[in-house]
C-alpha cells in the first residue's frame, strides 16, 4: 500500500522547506502555514487577485529559481509567536519577529547574505533592492498560481531522475508538500480520478512543470544536477514534469475572499505514514 513518506511546507516562499509530521489542508485547497511570507523586490507589486484568489509568481522576489544559494539556509518558523529563525552552516544568521523592527532585521540579514554569494549580481539589478518582507505570517498568499494547490510526487519518480543522472536526487529539490512512497515511478502522470491521502480526498488538477529551482542542491545551494535536461533528454519527456497538483473535490478550491486564506477552515489533516489510494 502506498504511504506518505514525508511532508513539507514552505513558510517563506522560495526558501528551505519545513519538514512536518502532519499538514492541515484548508478548504481553499492550500496548506495551512505554507508560503505565508515572502521577500519581494522593491519594484514588485503586492499579491494580485485573479478569480478571487491571491497570486504571486516567484519572479517578484527571492526564490530558488534565480537565487540557488538560498537552499543553503535553514529556516524555522514559529507560527504561534510569528518569529523567523534563519541559520547558515549551523550559525544563526538572524532571528526576529514580524514587527517593524524584526522585519527590518530579516531584510537586512537576507540582503547581506545574498550579496556575499555568487547570486549577488542578480540582486543588484535595477529595482530589486531594498528587499521587503511581505505577508502577515498567517495567510497562505504567496502561491505561484491563483489556485493554491497541494503538491505531491512519488519518491520513485525522483529516484528515476537520480538513476538517469547517476547520483542521488533528494525529494526536497521538488518542493512538494507530499512525498509518497510505494508507487511506480511516474505513476502521477496517469492520475485522473480521486487521490485520497489519509482522511483527505483530492482531485488531480495538473502535472507540475519544473524550473531551475530543482537544479539547486538542497544542502549546499550549488546547482549540481541538470534535472530539466534529464527529464526532457534521457527520460524523453516533452516538457520537464514531475509531480501533480491536487485540489479538494467540488467547489472547495474556489473563492476564499478577503485576500488570502487566513480564515479558511481546515478540511482535514494528512500525516506521515498515511495510506494513499489512487482511484
Spatial separation of the C-alpha atoms in residues 185 and 183, rounded to whole Å:
6
C-alpha grid cell for residue 205? 488538477
C-alpha grid cell for residue 235? 527520460
Q: Are 220 and 72 in contact (CB under 8 A)?
A: yes
- Give me the CATH code for the 3-278 domain, please: 2.40.33.20
Q: Which three-class secondary structure state does DSSP give residue 22?
A: strand
- Could you report the per-residue pLDDT of 6-56, keeping only the tens digit for each? 999 999 998 888 999 999 999 888 999 999 999 999 998 766 555 444 567
- Could you report the per-residue pLDDT of 106-121, keeping only the tens digit for each? 999 999 999 999 999 9
Q: Would you give the end-to-end CA distance of the chain in angstroms?
A: 13
Strand order in the sheet with 241-247: 18-20, 3-9, 178-181, 150-154, 241-247, 200-209, 195-197, 276-278
- Could you report the per-residue pLDDT of 203-231, keeping only the tens digit for each? 999 999 999 999 999 989 999 999 999 99
pLDDT for residue 54: 59
> Could you tell me the residue ranges of all domains in the chain?
3-278
Amino acid at each position: 500500500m502506498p504511504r506518505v513518506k514525508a511532508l513539507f511546507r514552505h513558510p517563506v516562499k522560495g526558501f528551505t522547506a519545513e519538514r512536518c509530521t502532519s499538514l492541515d489542508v484548508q478548504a481553499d485547497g492550500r496548506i495551512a502555514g505554507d508560503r505565508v511570507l515572502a521577500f519581494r523586490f522593491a519594484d514588485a507589486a503586492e499579491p494580485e487577485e485573479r478569480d478571487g484568489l491571491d497570486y504571486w509568481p516567484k519572479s517578484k522576489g527571492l526564490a530558488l529559481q534565480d537565487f540557488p544559494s538560498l537552499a543553503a539556509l535553514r529556516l524555522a518558523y514559529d507560527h504561534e509567536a510569528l518569529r523567523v529563525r534563519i541559520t547558515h552552516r549551523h550559525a544563526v544568521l538572524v532571528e526576529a519577529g514580524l514587527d517593524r523592527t524584526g522585519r527590518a532585521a530579516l531584510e537586512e540579514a537576507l540582503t547581506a547574505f545574498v550579496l556575499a554569494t555568487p547570486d549577488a549580481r542578480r540582486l543588484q539589478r535595477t529595482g530589486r533592492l531594498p528587499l521587503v518582507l511581505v505577508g502577515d505570517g498567517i495567510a497562505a498568499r504567496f502561491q505561484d498560481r491563483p489556485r493554491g494547490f497541494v503538491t505531491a510526487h512519488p519518491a520513485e519518480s525522483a529516484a528515476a531522475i537520480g538513476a538517469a543522472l547517476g547520483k542521488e536526487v533528494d525529494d526536497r529539490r521538488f518542493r512538494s508538500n507530499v512525498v509518497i512512497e510505494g508507487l511506480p515511478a511516474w505513476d502521477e502522470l496517469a492520475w485522473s480520478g480521486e487521490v485520497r491521502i489519509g482522511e483527505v480526498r483530492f482531485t488531480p488538477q495538473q502535472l507540475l512543470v519544473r524550473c531551475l529551482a530543482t537544479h539547486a542542491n538542497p544542502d549546499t545551494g550549488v546547482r549540481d544536477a541538470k534535472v530539466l535536461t534529464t527529464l526532457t533528454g534521457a527520460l524523453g519527456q516533452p516538457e520537464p514534469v514531475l509531480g501533480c497538483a491536487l485540489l479538494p473535490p467540488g467547489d472547495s478550491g474556489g473563492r476564499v475572499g478577503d485576500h488570502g486564506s487566513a480564515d479558511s477552515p481546515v478540511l482535514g489533516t494528512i500525516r506521515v505514514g498515511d495510506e494513499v489510494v489512487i482511484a
